[in-house]
Structure 1
Amino acid sequence: MPSSLSSLAAEPDRLLPAEPGVRAIARNLLARVESLPIISPHGHVDAAVIEQNTPFPDPAALLVSPDHYVTRLIHASGVPLDRLRESNTSQPDSRSVWREFCTAWPLFEGTASGYWLRTQFSSVFGLAGELSAETADASYDAISAKLQEPGFRPRELFKDFNIEVLATTDDPLDTLASHKTIAEDPSFHGRVLPTFRPDAYLNIAHPNWVENVDRLIGLAGDGAGGYTGYIRALENRRRYFVERGAVSADHGVRTPLTLKLGRSEAEKLFTRARCGEWTAEDRDMFEGHMMYEMARMSVQDGLVMTMHPGSYRNHHLPSFEKFGSDTGHDIPFPVSYTEAIRPVLQDFGTAKDFHLVLFTLDETVFSRELAPLAGFYPSVYIGAPWWFLDAPDAMLRFRSAVTETAGFSRSSGFIDDTRAFCSIPARHDASRRIEASFLARLVAEHRVSEDRAHELIVDIVDSSPRRVFKL
């Protein structure tokens, strides 16, 4: 097997500036933080994976089929999704999926996915060469053997990856039993925290919204019905999460719209929605009102509020019907925060201990809106580059876009936002290298002293996520 995979992934100066003097500064900055523990305040790893500590599945099930970053690009090259992941009618053979992936490996050159995967293959799985159609079976067998080693169980990797905090994303009615088991296990060193994610209970367009709301009210409404029971149940379940270690509530909303509706108007919207008589305008109004309600509740219970708008979910309906959600066809669209978030900020923007972390998939928003908002409101923090923007060049653009207005202290720290457990260290390593590169340029241009840059990179990597997410 050619050695380019290992040589690229093992290059100590990867992602650092090409100019030798600036690179030397970046090396020193990176050395200051590369061994710091990983703080992951937002992600999608299932807590049961850590609790049960069962071996990971085969290479394709671990690294290809569930990763929409990977399958979407292979699909774009003409490979049907049913050759890459399970559908409602078929289940592809794992080795066949891996062969499709290895054949398509050249497609990932220059992509963030390619960078993360190379790092995983080299540092986690110990592969010594480049993937290709010819090496597919050998690499499959090598990774399969690794997955069976006792030291490759999730809890052992949690320790090896130097993860201190890992937040999951959880349904409001989840019992959080896995989190409880982990927290009570004296042999486990680290924190696995739940996150309150109520999208399916707030978005009236969700196909199971009525059923979800009925269950919510029945289980947590304290005997009250209708809109009153609905609000009370959400408050009660948030409290349940707080008591079990949650520090944030996450909202994957369609737009950043927030609305402060009167009680009567909100009740009427809620009633129409439960009867199935809602319009698109009703959908946006109700979600906007519930974002205001979520902010109000965060002020009361202390959960950090994060918002992830701007994704057209399930853009390709035939793929959604066959493969379900999170299968690679969510597409970004433009958003605007300034007017949309104003109702929340009018009432809570200066509220004590309220933290509101705003994310975007629209890069124009970083400098135009989020940096100015975070540069005034004590409650507002700028969410790190997310999803399509969590790539090296995009992360550099983010720093350039927000720093001159909001400085370094108003951003969230890196967010890996991943289901792919084995990619977590690769993603955080990439972020640390980009932060070192950006700061090194400021030092070289005599805009920041080198001593101050060393303080700043520690704050960005370690102190910011602890501060923003109240860790």
Structure 2
Amino acid sequence: MYPTEVTRKRFLCEDFLLESEFAKILYHKYAKDLPIIDYHNHLSPEEIAHNKKYRSISEVWLAGDHYKWRAMRTLGIDERYITGNASDQEKFQKWAETVPYTLRNPLFHWTHLELKRYFHIDTLLTGANAEEVYFQTTELLQENSFRARGLLQKMNVEVVCTTDDPSDSLEYHKLARQQASSPKMFPAFRPDKAFAAENPFQYIAYIGKLSDSVGFDINHYGDLLRALQNRIDFFAENGCTIADHGLEQLFVFTVGKYSPELLFQKLMFGQSLQPEEINYFKFHTLLELCKMYHAKGWVQQFHLGALRNTNKRMLATLGPDTGFDSIGDYKQAVPLAGFLNLLDSTDQLSKTILYNLNPADNEVLATMVGNFNDGSIKGKIQFGSGWWFLDQKDGMEKQINALSNMGLLSCFVGMLTDSRSFLSFPRHEYFRRVLCNLIGKDVEKGELPADDKWLGKIVSDISYYNAKAYFNF
């Protein structure tokens, strides 16, 4: 006979994802209340500096969120309700209708965590209650405590590091610093366009923009390097200590195989480079940049493995970063080792965080970091947290397990949002629960001693203190 009642936990209860008593102790006593250091995201510095008020939950929650967009498209929802000209309420209605169908996708957990943590809404979002939730949240968003900085403060965010192009004036970072308000906001240097040699006409336009920002003409490759050093100095003056890069893979060549000056001149004359020439230009420029970072004592981050803009029809219609990217299967190990070794050979390898998008590369990166940890700095080379398609429960667990098996989990600098949304910060809570649950399971199985002070300190370090020390915040 089947039981008439099934024993089950209440969805999203205070012990959500915590499967043992020891996991509950670790999370509630040592992780839950720690501040958040979000050292990589795509938040708008302007919205933070101006403490933006949002007209509706659609503006703050759906706009720019390609995770949600992909789910809606999969369900057959017309683009008008995703990136089109439908009203905020119509877009929210279609998202609410989508939510029940996202079960077992991290969107289901994130959606309800975010509604609960920011708006104290504890009901499941559906098409039936969409109107009620829309007006309830939109009304709250008109209060001062629900403006951009207020939303960050609600999640106990201490530091946010935005992602900024070298040509950026950083005017909003300056404004925010003058206000001396919380959280602290710092820029992160993202120079991808400076070596994006695939399209010469786009490159020429970017070089013009960079020239304007530095106040001198960039006519030669040496001028480009001088301009990048100029901007690194400027970013450093404005509190920057991090550089970030989004790459399919790193490349390594014998220095001098091609002349970077000749390649630069070809680009500036509108001539397309051959694939190997493009890769060399990326390699050489990035190598020079990494030496500049080391001289500043910066942390460098490499996000590896995204296959971007796969749907050319939709790229032409909507542009990049609209939800048409996927995991790539690039070869990472040999060129990554070669590139890091070139920097290490001259003692110019900065603190480095490596992120992979292909889970098949977990063990590659987990072992790679050990090759270049030289005892000079605790956790100098880091295997970064589950990123993009991998920042969900299964992806986090696999990253933590690979790091634990092949490195030192205790030195890990923990989670980040990598998000464009001011409502995404419960992802830190999600990560902390996953972390505590894994360690709690080990205790339950007798694989770790039940010492909550010792294990609690490690959990606290990973959740907050390691990042605070690593980035010198």
- TM-score when normalising by structure 2: 0.91
Cα offset, 1:127, TM superposition: 2.2
Q: Distance in 1 between matches of 2:90 and 2:249?
A: 39
Q: Distance in 2 between matches of 1:151 and 1:138?
A: 21
Determine the structure 2 residue equivalent to 1:428. Answer: 428
Determine the structure 2 residue equivalent to 1:13. Answer: 15
Determine the structure 2 residue equivalent to 1:3. Answer: none
Cα offset, 1:41, TM superposition: 0.3
Could you give the per-residue CA deviations for residues 199-255 of structure 1, whole angstroms, max 9, x where no partner exists? 122111256221111332354275663101001101110111111011111111122
Cα offset, 1:189, TM superposition: 3.0
Cα offset, 1:283, TM superposition: 2.2
Q: Distance in 1 between matches of 2:416 and 2:52?
A: 26
| Aligned partner (choices 282, 306, 329) of residue 301 of structure 2 | 306
Letter paired with 1:28: I
| Aligned partner (choices 56, 72, 75) of residue 74 of structure 1 | 72
Against the structure 1 CA distance between its residues 452 and 193, is the aligned structure 2 distance closer, same or farther, given a 3 Å change threshold? same
Determine the structure 2 residue equivalent to 1:467. Answer: 469
Q: Distance in 1 between matches of 2:319 and 2:55?
A: 21
Q: Distance in 1 between matches of 2:287 and 2:386?
A: 24
Contact between 1:381 and 1:468, CA under 8 Å: does it hold in 2? no
Cα offset, 1:12, TM superposition: 1.1
Cα offset, 1:264, TM superposition: 5.9
Q: Distance in 2 between matches of 1:352 and 1:315?
A: 36
Alignment gaps of 5+ in structure 2: 1-8, 374-379
Q: Distance in 1 between matches of 2:116 and 2:253?
A: 49
Could you give the per-residue CA deviations for residues 355-377 of structure 1, whole angstroms, max 9, x where no partner exists? 1111101112111x111121231
Determine the structure 1 residue equivalent to 2:283. Answer: 288
Determine the structure 1 residue equivalent to 2:182. Answer: 189
Cα offset, 1:256, TM superposition: 2.3
- Provide the alpha-carbon RMSD of the alignment: 2.1
The equivalences for 1:419-458 within 5 A come to 419-424=420-425, 426-449=426-449, 450=451, 451-458=453-460
More off after superposition, 402-411 vs 103-112: 402-411
- SS at the partner of 1:256? coil
Q: Distance in 1 between matches of 2:442 and 2:259?
A: 52
Letter paired with 1:439: I
Letter paired with 2:72: I
Cα offset, 1:284, TM superposition: 2.2
Q: Distance in 2 between matches of 1:222 and 1:310?
A: 35
Q: Distance in 1 between matches of 2:156 and 2:107?
A: 22
- TM-score when normalising by structure 1: 0.91
Letter paired with 1:374: V
Q: Distance in 1 between matches of 2:435 and 2:14?
A: 15
Letter paired with 1:468: Y
Against the structure 1 CA distance between its residues 228 and 140, is the aligned structure 2 distance closer, same or farther, given a 3 Å change threshold? same
Q: Distance in 2 between matches of 1:229 and 1:52?
A: 35
Contact between 2:164 and 2:190, CA under 8 Å: does it hold in 1? yes
More off after superposition, 59-68 vs 160-169: 59-68
Cα offset, 1:24, TM superposition: 0.4
- SS at the partner of 1:184? helix
1:244 and 2:238 matched: yes
Determine the structure 2 residue equivalent to 1:376. Answer: 371
- SS at the partner of 1:192? strand
Against the structure 1 CA distance between its residues 244 and 30, is the aligned structure 2 distance closer, same or farther, given a 3 Å change threshold? same
Contact between 1:371 and 1:406, CA under 8 Å: does it hold in 2? yes
Contact between 1:217 and 1:225, CA under 8 Å: does it hold in 2? no
| Aligned partner (choices 151, 169, 174) of residue 168 of structure 2 | 174
Contact between 1:311 and 1:361, CA under 8 Å: does it hold in 2? yes
* Pairs aligned (count): 453
Q: Distance in 2 between matches of 1:293 and 1:446?
A: 49
Contact between 1:74 and 1:107, CA under 8 Å: does it hold in 2? no
- SS at the partner of 1:423? coil
Cα offset, 1:260, TM superposition: 5.2
Contact between 1:310 and 1:332, CA under 8 Å: does it hold in 2? yes
Determine the structure 1 residue equivalent to 2:21. Answer: 24
Q: Distance in 2 between matches of 1:219 and 1:175?
A: 7
Alignment gaps of 5+ in structure 1: 1-5, 18-22
1:114 and 2:108 matched: yes
| Aligned partner (choices 87, 94, 101) of residue 100 of structure 1 | 94
Cα offset, 1:7, TM superposition: 5.6
Letter paired with 2:75: S
- SS at the partner of 1:141? helix
- SS at the partner of 1:419? coil
Contact between 2:258 and 2:280, CA under 8 Å: does it hold in 1? no
Cα offset, 1:383, TM superposition: 1.0
